[in-house]
Amino acid sequence: MELKGRHLIDPNDFSLEELKQVFDLADRMIDNRDTYGSICKGKILGTLFYEPSTRTRLSFESAMLRMGGSVLGFADANTSSVAKGESIADTIRVLSTYADVVVMRHPKEGAPKLASEYSSVPVINGGDGGHQHPTQTLTDLLTIRRYKKRLDNLTVGFCGDLKFGRTVHSLISTMSRYQGSKFVLVSPTELKLPEHLKSNLMEMYGIDIYETESLEEVIDSLDILYMTRIQKERFFNEADYMRLKDSYILDRSKLKNAKDDMLVMHPLPRVNEISYDVDDDHRAVYFKQAEYGIYVRMALIALLLGVDVNVDGK
């Protein structure tokens, strides 16, 4: 199905074939970096960021600017009409007339879905509370595909905050759709993957999930280790955050037992959950992952806008 005019609220909005379309174009963009510099000329990306974000917002802006498009929007809800109490529906009705495609980040879960119901242009979910972060998932999948040359039959370990970590929720529910995916969930009891999500995935896809509190116990079985930050902003109480924030720290010594071709991934920003001494390890791909995020967003924007992407003669 054509992606032009579609929204991306949840990674499951796209079929595996449609996801492949995005990754194929992103691959072409990475391999031919100078070719796509004006495919979005005259198009505008609206960035509606209701909560602070540095890399997601700048990654989207960079993606649009690299294709010759323009960007407008706000990065702080306190300085916009939102602060005056405007509903999301009213904001998007107006702003979707100013832009050709919109990316929204919002602290409330489901806000981009709500926006998509009233928008006249494609809406991309740039992260909604602890719910979904689909473009991070596209970034993660592209990174895995480029290093592993496949997205099926992989054992993926998720470590850290699996309760509030929206990047984990998005990635695990998308990877469940690829055949042979196995998941190892490493977290303290308080930050386990929400039961409704786990049971839903087990029911829908019959996936294999193993839960543990010990990273050392399982690290040798993993093809990918996806580390996450314990996010202060998702806690209602400071004491719980302080107690759990240092639960898992990946360092060189823990990596000793990992496979030589295991990937260490992280959605960034990290605080201290990956020691700096891991950065030089050949398995650490998180900075490359951030770079690929720009290209996957370029591919996504171009396909949602329906601009001509056949500029490299392929």
Partner 1 sequence: MLTVNSINCGIVIDHITAGNGIKIFEKLKLGEVNYPVVLLINVPSSKLGKKDIIKIENKIDVDLTMLGLIDPNITVNIIENDSIVNKMNVKIPDEVQGLFKCKNPRCVSNYDEYTTPRFKLVKKNGKIFYRCNYCEELTSYTI
Q: Which positions touch partner 1 (CB under 8 A)?
A: 87-90, 106-111, 113-114, 128-131, 196, 199
Active site residues: 55-56, 84, 105, 133
**Is 137:290 a contact under the CB 8 Å cutoff?**
no
> Closest distance between partner 1 and the C-beta of residue 87, in Å?
4
Between residues 2 and 203, which has the closer beta carbon with respect to partner 1? 203
Q: How far apart are CA 253 and CA 277, in angstroms?
A: 10
Between residues 105 and 266, which has the closer beta carbon with respect to partner 1? 105
For the chain, first and last CA: distance in Å?
A: 19
Q: By C-alpha distance, which of 304, 270, 307 is closest to 125?
A: 304
Q: Radius of gyration over alpha carbons of the chain, in Å?
A: 19
Please state the length of the chain.
Answer: 314
> Closest distance between partner 1 and the C-beta of residue 237, in Å?
14
Distance from the Cα of residue 303 to its chain's centroid = 18
Residue 275's contacts (CB-CB under 8 Å, 6 or more residues apart) are 249, 250, 251, 252
> Closest distance between partner 1 and the C-beta of residue 196, in Å?
5
> Closest distance between partner 1 and the C-beta of residue 209, in Å?
17
Between residues 128 and 140, which has the closer beta carbon with respect to partner 1? 128
**Is 105:128 a contact under the CB 8 Å cutoff?**
yes
Between residues 125 and 289, which has the closer beta carbon with respect to partner 1? 125
> Closest distance between partner 1 and the C-beta of residue 292, in Å?
27
Strands, sheet with 208-212, edge to edge from the N-terminal-most edge strand: 208-212, 182-186, 155-159, 224-227, 263-265
Which two three-digit tokens encode residue 229? 């930050």
Burial class (CB in 10 A: 0-12, 13-18, 19+), 203: exposed
**Is 156:201 a contact under the CB 8 Å cutoff?**
no
Q: Residue 57 in 3-state DSSP?
A: helix
Between residues 206 and 313, which has the closer beta carbon with respect to partner 1? 206
> Closest distance between partner 1 and the C-beta of residue 132, in Å?
9
Between residues 58 and 204, which has the closer beta carbon with respect to partner 1? 204
